Structure formats: structure tokens, C-alpha cells
Structure 1
Amino acid sequence: MNLTESQSVETAPDEGFVEMIRDILSHLYDYPYLQTHPLADRFGPGKLLTPQERARILRTTILKTIEEMHPGSVPFRSVHARAYNVLNLHYVEGLTIQEVARELAISERQCYRDLRKAEESLAAVLWAARVVSETGSAEGLGVIARGNLVHREAARLSPEVSEINVCTLLEGALEAVKALAVQRGVQYEMRIAADAIVIRVDRLLVRQALVSALSYAVQNASPQTVVRLDAFPVANAIRVQIAFTAQKERKGASESLVAAQQLARRAGGECVLETKPFGELTLNLTFRQSSHCCVLVIDDNAGLIELLQRYLTGEPYEVMGASDGREGLFLASERRPDVIVLDIMMPQQDGWEVLQRLKTQEKTKDIPVIVCSVLNDPELAFSLGACEFLAKPVTRDRLLTALKRCQ
């Protein structure tokens, strides 16, 4: 997690804070409990939000911080991935300690030890990034909490993948920060390796990520200096580098950096801030080609939609969500997703009815449907036209396997 722009705080959390984080983890899917949790006001401007919003921000902050602990491309059972895996498998995916130990091929005793250490590591990161909003003002919302809001807002957008000319995209992003650059006394120059670099991405998310990254660079560049943009193709992706000489004290636009990172990740890429000698900083934004396999998740539980989105981050899938059957039927008809993941227990219109309508409408009858429910009745699902059945709680591997079978 990039905490470069955070305020300096105590380096280690007290035991009481660690215990509160453990308590949240044990009630991660209990929204009424989280609404009244002592930490519900610590990761956002509590006085400005409803109890439901406070609970959602608290839960999303915990989940995103766990996800940031993922070590990247290492073997699943590697010791370097142990902290992430024990937290994710036990608290997010709902596996018992015995099941986690079997998954990781370790003893239950070792699993308990690793879980305690991982909980302490998670608490340490949250302690360093915590926000105590005593004034109740919008400024009281910390960079991590606001980053989670950006992620949530971006998740609401339906994927709009198309072929984009990178030069045109960059020119549009530069136009958005032009006035700000003039105010700050900063110039910029753009260099493109080829005039016609075209990539298939979500235009809106990539543009917003570029604008946020440029805003961060312009606001933190030394006056009378040049912000340099380079764009060039890499393996099945495009990389944009934004280099600038930073002011001695960078105090502004940390939220723009977090927004760029969240938006880039949501677009299937990444945004990394690299520090170089003599005050030089480089923002590296990498956007991968989208295979445009669109997955529509119809579930009244927003947390489940967010979980599946995290599971599919970095995979060749675009996820859009629908909070009820009516919205799901509309999106299925209008957007024609490649696969639909359908919950059963929903208000007003349950999943069985939605599935029947999907299979009788001309526009949607051929779309593969994966029923995902706590109601363990795969035979009924198959009889109504579902191609796969997933019993909740869902693991990442089971989801990916089901999606591959439906393609």
C-alpha cells in the first residue's frame, strides 16, 4: 500500500486497536454490527454519513487493505503469500481454520500462528493510515477511505470497452489539467513512440485515471519545470509514464494519486509511483488489453458484487453489477453480457423468476447463467437453464472454473 502521502503517525498500534480489527474481521458481513462499531467513525467523516455508509466504508477499507497485502506473482502456498491467504481464506471466503490449513498444506497450529501475525500486520497498516474525523468535515476523510469511495463509484459504472487511440486519449487528459498547469507555472511535453497506438480498454476509466495522475503531477511539480509524458507499447499493454521534478515538500493532491491508482486498477491496470534521485518522480500507468468478457452479477448484496470484482481483478473479465432482478433483466437485454452470475434470494423478484425470464426472452436466452446461492439446489437451477451452480460462500478458484466452463 502506498502511504507516501500519509501524515506521520505512531508506528505500532496498541493492543486495543488490534483487538478491534479482529472484531471487525469476525463480523465482516454483519452490516448492523458494523454500523455501531467503535471504528465506524474512524475511516470517514462519520457525522456526514448514514450508519449504512459508515459500515460500508469500514468494511470496504478492511477488504481493500487485505487485498493490498497480496504479494503478486508468487506461488499460492509460498510463505510470502501466507499473510494474505490466511486472512482472505478465513475471513473473506469463510473457510474454517481446518480448511485453511488444508488449502495451504500447513498444520492447524501453524495456521493459527500465521493468522494472528497477519491480523497484527493488517492492524499496523490500518493504524498508520487511520483517520480520526473530529470535525466532521469533508476534509476529515482520509486518503484510503476516499480511495475506497472512488473504487465503489467506479464499480457502479458499466464497462464501456472500445478501441482507443492513445495519443487522442492523452491529449484529452492534458486539456483537462491545462488551466491548473498554467496556475502552477508548470509546462508539459508529450512524446509518443508511434502516432497510432491503439488499445482496447475502458475509455472512461482510463481517461479518469490519466486525469487524476496528471493532476497529482502538476500540483506537486516544482514551478517553472516540465512534466514529461511518454507512451509506448509493452507486452499486450500500453504504458504511460509521467515524469516530473517534485517540490521539496509534497503536501497536495494525495487523493488524486489514490484515485489514479484505484481507477487504473479498476480498468485492469496499475499505477505505481517511482522515486528517483534528485527529486525526480515518475508515475507509471500500465493498461492491459481487455478481452472484453463481460460478467453481469445480479445480487442484492453489494458486498458480494465487490467480492467477485476483487476475485476477477487482473483476470480477462469485466464486471458490472445489478442490485435486483429488474435491473439485472434490463442490463442483460441492453448490454448482452457474456456470462451472468445470478443470486436466488432477492426481494421483489427472486432468482428463479429472473432465470426463467432470461431463458424465455430472445435477446438473453443464449447467455450462460451461473446460479450462485445459499440455497443448495443445483438440479432445479440446471432444469431452468443454468449452465453452472455455485454454493455460497464462493471461492476465487471455483468462480474462475465456473466462468471458464461457461465460455
Structure 2
Amino acid sequence: MLFEEFEVLVKESLSNLFDYAAMETTPLTALFATHSGQSGSKGEFLRKLILESIDTLKPNDKAFDANANEWRTYTILNQRYIENLNSLDVARNLSISERQLRRYQRKAVEALAYRLWDRYQAIYPEARQATPTSDSNIKEFIVNLEEINLWEVVSGVNKLLATTTSEDHVELKTQNNETLWMIESDRIILRQILIGLMNQFFQLLHEFETPNRLLTFSFFRDEEKTTLNIDAPIYIEAGILSNLHTPELKKNLSFWSQEINVQINENHSKEQNKSGLILEFPHPQKKLILVVDDQEPALRMYERYLSRTKLKIVGLTKPSKVVARAKELKPALIVLDIMMPKVDGWEVLQSLKLDEGTRNIPVIVCSAWGEPELATSLGAVGFLKKPVIQRDLLAIIQKLKILDD
């Protein structure tokens, strides 16, 4: 069975998760329940397996936050298929449009399908050759860049390949700990890249019959990038990448590494008798929002509200310096308070719109007074009534497409 066929079955099973008759007759039941050794309802076994797999999509190191990117996959699956909410309600809960929900839902179902696919591969090893690699799949696959923990992804792949490493007598050693190794990438694609590279290492270790079959994973981080080194105690003069065993793997690595913005380079040394690969993940350049408020607690509130977005917040308490600071920073958005001493927000807004260097920067006005019409007439693109609520702030930023690439 190809992965595409398998994913369709997962979608159908999700839609019928609490339809007992449908769960008993779905082909997924035959694939999993017949190998489970259990004697009860096969449909109930499959339902529990799906629910457990959804549960594994919870981030391990993050407190629950329905609006956080890390929780989005789990939240969508839980609300749509377990709580059985309609699309409109889920979109409202997540402060996103229905169109965005459809896109994220496809990714969520796909992520779940891959979790179940891993289980399927363990039962049917030949399925490992049926992962999505064709040109048509490449064109149709939707890349979902999000903040993920590189250490967790590597550890998860190591667990997935535990049977293979045991059979080939390969030892995996992960250095450093699980904290701080956050990157922006697509979890599913990165897992496939790592699986392909590790299988390449396994084959080379087997071919060269090295007695010390150890793969070491090391993590490094600086201001510009996070780096993963994968090293093996064997010297291959031509390098790892030039020895890729199939043209398909070479093509996929070349294509997908560009899609998720990871650079893969050789790292081998004859003197140290080692060959390895360096995977570099550049840190994303965050869009900047200039928040103008004379109260420091308010600035910290905005930082907290937007802490899980890809936005960098710069606070400014002196309204007289807004125009100069905006010219210097060139922010994607200015959030402007009205009630400030000496120079109020209306004067600042007028100055911004009269200056050629700042007039095109979108401004959101925040005020305890209900004056959205005045804000619009002076050139603001949005109005938030104080006290500002996180959901309202995220909604207007989403509407302005500030979070879009």
C-alpha cells in the first residue's frame, strides 16, 4: 500500500471515529487489529489507536495554549474529530479564517497519518519503500514551517529506527540535552530527511564493515543558525552524499532541503577517521512590530500576547521619538496608544502619516475611548479598544497579513 492510499483511509476513519459500524469495517481495522493479538472489538481497538496517536501530537515541553503554533495540530484534530466541532467554530477558537483552517487541517491529518504510518511500517517493513517521493507528490505536499524542537525530532527518529539499529548493531549517541534547540522547519519533511540520511549511514557502516558502528548526534547554536552534526567513525573520501544509494533519495534530499531551508554539507576527516554531515538551520528573520505606550507593563503585555508568533516586539515609551525610531527600524506594524503625556497618540499618528519615510507603515490605534472613525480618518488601518484582549490583537494582525511571509 502506498502512503497516499493509507492517508485516505486515515481521513475516512477520522470522519467515522465514533461510528461503531464504520470503524469495524474500515480497511485500517484489518491492517492493525489483526496483528494486535487482542480479542475484543477490532473497531474499538482502531479507535483507541487513533486517539492515542492524536495524543502523541501534544508538545511535550509546552503548556497548553490553543492559539500556539506548537499545539495547533493537536488542537485541530481534537476539536474537529473528538469534540466534533464544526469548521467555523474551530476557526473562531483559533482566531484564524476557515481557509487557513482547511490548510492546517490537511497538515494535521497528514501528521496523524505519518504517526500511524510509522506503526504500519513496523508491521509491514516493505512499506518503508512506499513513502511519498514521486514528482506529483512533491508538487502537492504542503510545507508547514513552524517552531519545533530539533532534539525531539532527532530523538523521535532514533526511536522509530530502533529495530533497524538493533539488527545492524549500530549504536546511536545523542549529545547535549533537549532544551534550546528550537528551529523553524516542517516536522514531517525533516523526519523523512533524517530517516533517509540515517539509512544511508547504516548501509555505509555495513558495507565498510567497520567494527565501531556508532552514530553521534551533536547540537550547536549561535546567533545565526542551529546546527546538527551527524558523525560516524569511518573515513569515506568521496563523502556521504556522493554515495547516496538511490537517485530518488538524492533528488528528494535536494528538493526538500531547499523547501525547509536546511543546508546539508559534508564533514569528513582522514586524520580523525570520521565522516559525517552538517545540517544547518538558519534562524528566521522575524518581522518587527513597534509598540508605543508610555506604560512599561503595557509593553510587557504585548510581548506576552505575541510571544508565540514570529514577530519581534520593540517597545517605545517616548512618543516624541516615534517617527525617528520608525525610520530606523522600518517595522511591519506600529501599535500606538493614544493617552500619553505631552504628545498624545493622535499627534504621533499625524506625524507618521505626514512624513514620507513612515507614511506607508500600517498603524493600529489603541484607546479606551471608542474612536475608530477618527483613527481611520487619520490613516490608521485598525482600532483596538482598551483594555486590549489577546484574541482581538491576534485577529487584527492576522487580518492585516502581518504574519504572512
> Higher relative CO (CA 8 A, sep ≥ 6), structure 1 or 2?
1
Q: TM-score, normalised by structure 2?
A: 0.33
User: TM-score, normalised on structure 1?
Assistant: 0.32
